[in-house]
Amino acid sequence: MFLTRTGSVLGVAEMLSPLSWDQQPFRFVSLHHEDAARLEAAVQSSRELDRREHKHIKREIGQVDNFRAW
């Protein structure tokens, strides 16, 4: 079970070889339709948040560049 912003996602997952002590890849083996929809919504939400943060950072860098003494 995974807890996401859009709700819990319950499914069967296969654990893959660890990448490091704090990164454990996995893949879903079985996922109900409703859980798949919640997972997709969580992924989309995360992508949108990343895009907004990236735009905000670019805007801040642009503002800093305006005040640099070249």
pLDDT digits (tens, 9 = 90+) for 5-44: 888 999 999 999 999 999 999 999 999 999 999 999 999 9
CA atoms lying within 13 Å on the CB side of residue 49: 7
67 pLDDT tier (thresholds 50, 70, 90): confident
Helices and strands (H, E) in the chain, number of each type: 1, 4
Is pLDDT above 80 for 53?
yes
For 43-56, what is the mean pLDDT? 90
Domain ranges within the chain, ordered by starting residue: 2-66
Residue 18 class from Cβ within 10 Å (0-12 exposed, 13-18 middle, 19+ buried)? Answer: exposed
70 pLDDT tier (thresholds 50, 70, 90): low
Q: Is the pTM of this model over 0.75?
A: no
